[in-house]
Amino acid sequence: MKTIGVLTSGGDAPGMNAAIRAVVRTAISLGMNVKGIKRGYNGLMEGDIIDLDIRSVSDIINRGGTFLYTARSPKFKTEEGVMEAVENCKKFGIEGIAVIGGDGSFKGARSLSNHGIPCVGIPGTIDNDISYTEYTIGFDTAMNTAIDMVDRIRDTAQSHDRCSVVEVMGRHAGYIAVQTGIAVGASAILVPEIKTDINDVIEKIKNSSTTGRKHFIVVVAEGVGGVEEIAKAIEEKTGIESRATVLGHVQRGGNPTVRDRVCATELGNAAVHLLSQGIGNRVVGYKDGKLVNYDIFEALNMKKEFDFDMMRVAHETSI
């Protein structure tokens, strides 16, 4: 391949810029040219495509967000949308694409690969909910932001002898909630993967009260939701004043941590090595801590086991 493209798609994640940088620098090191495709598949359909050189990606390894912008592009799910994208690949001489995003973006990458544009997917989402890989770019930064925020909430919860119910991101997955919950010593963690009876949470808080605890943190994944109602129920049934906080998009921003910068660099580099050999329709990721790549179709059909043992650890250490 002489020329490859790079795009970011779906929700942004800290570390996406580091991944773009790795794609660009690796491609140039291997003698290829790189085009930056703006706003995900929208830019590919609309021809919003720029040349990238070594210096285009200077000073972005440390920055959150994505300098190529990102989007959700419903039109790209149609045959018409894919054909427009394929036409633009031909027009701009793009022979392969590194797609940085989540499961949805990889389905788009599969469509392009099926239409003769080899694509390699790089996992980027704060949710860490992509089945085939142990880690996705942005997860570590998002959790570090979340624990920083919850630590602040704890200060005020402690001062007022309150219970704080905090919603963290994860529309379909509780990975952020579990690890954040453990890291802040939450009294309870509620995730979409496990049905929890609010009365069990209330009982646990009551029991902890009897051993002298006066303030509490409950971490709730976005996919469970209802933090206001949960706080109200806790207050009514325990008599402990309770407050609800939704952390929201603060978790998606900020400078990437060392883990996200290094993973993004490693994954971006690996994706380009595949493309440089003409290999597409693949995704890169981690298994047992090692870099792996899989066929996209195979990867999209894999199932990720929720780490129930982490919930046990959280439960046993938060009495």
**Residue 264 CA: distances (Å) to CA of 185, 228, 275, 282:** 29, 36, 17, 16
**Sign of the dihedral defined by the CA atoms of residues 194, 145, 182, 122, in that order:** positive
CB of 139 to ligand ADP, least distance (A): 13
Site for ligand F6P in 116-145 (CB under 6 A): 125-127
Instruction: Fill in the amino acid letter for 298.
Output: E
In the set 48, 51, 53, 127, the catalytic residue is: 127
Query: 52 forms bridges with which residues in the sheet?
Result: 34
Residue 169 contacts which entry, ligand ADP, ligand F6P, none (Cβ below 5-8 A, type-dependent): ligand F6P
Smallest Cα–Cα separation from 219: which of 198, 191, 195, 239? 191
Q: Would you call 88 exposed, middle or buried from its count of C-beta atoms within 10 A (0-12, 13-18, 19+)?
A: buried
Using CB under 6 A, pick the residue from 17, 111, 136, 179 that binds ligand ADP.
111
CB of 121 to ligand ADP, least distance (A): 9
* Enclosing H/E stretch for 318: none
Cα distance from N-terminal residue to C-terminal residue, the chain: 58
| Contact indicator for 271, 32 with CB cutoff of 8 Å | no
* Enclosing H/E stretch for 279: none
Asked if 127 is an active-site residue, the reply is yes
Segment interacting with ligand ADP, rule: CB under 6 A, options 72-80, 144-152, 156-164, 169-177: 72-80
Asked if 96 interacts with ligand ADP (CB under 6 A), we say no
Using CB under 6 A, pick the residue from 12, 84, 103, 193 that binds ligand ADP.
103
Question: What is the rounded distance in angstroms from the CA atom of residue 261 to the CA atom of residue 269?
Answer: 12
CB of 297 to ligand ADP, least distance (A): 12
Residue 84 contacts which entry, ligand ADP, ligand F6P, none (Cβ below 5-8 A, type-dependent): none
Mark 202-241 with x for binding to ligand F6P (rule: CB under 6 A) and - for no binding. --------------------x-------------------
How many CB atoms sit inside 10 A of residue 242's CB? Answer: 23
Q: How many residues does the chain have?
A: 319
Site for ligand F6P in 142-201 (CB under 6 A): 169-171
Asked if 129 interacts with ligand ADP (CB under 6 A), we say no
Question: What is the rounded distance in angstroms from the CA atom of residue 316 to the CA atom of residue 319?
Answer: 6
Q: Which is nearer to ligand ADP, 193 or 227 (CB)?
A: 193
Q: Would you call 278 exposed, middle or buried from its count of C-beta atoms within 10 A (0-12, 13-18, 19+)?
A: exposed
Using CB under 6 A, pick the residue from 26, 66, 113, 125 that binds ligand ADP.
125
Asked if 118 interacts with ligand ADP (CB under 6 A), we say no
Give contact residues for ligand F6P (rule: CB under 6 A): 11, 125-127, 169-171, 222, 252
Give contact residues for ligand ADP (rule: CB under 6 A): 9-11, 41, 72-73, 76-77, 101-105, 107-108, 111, 125
Give the residue numbers annotated as catalytic, written as ranges. Answer: 127
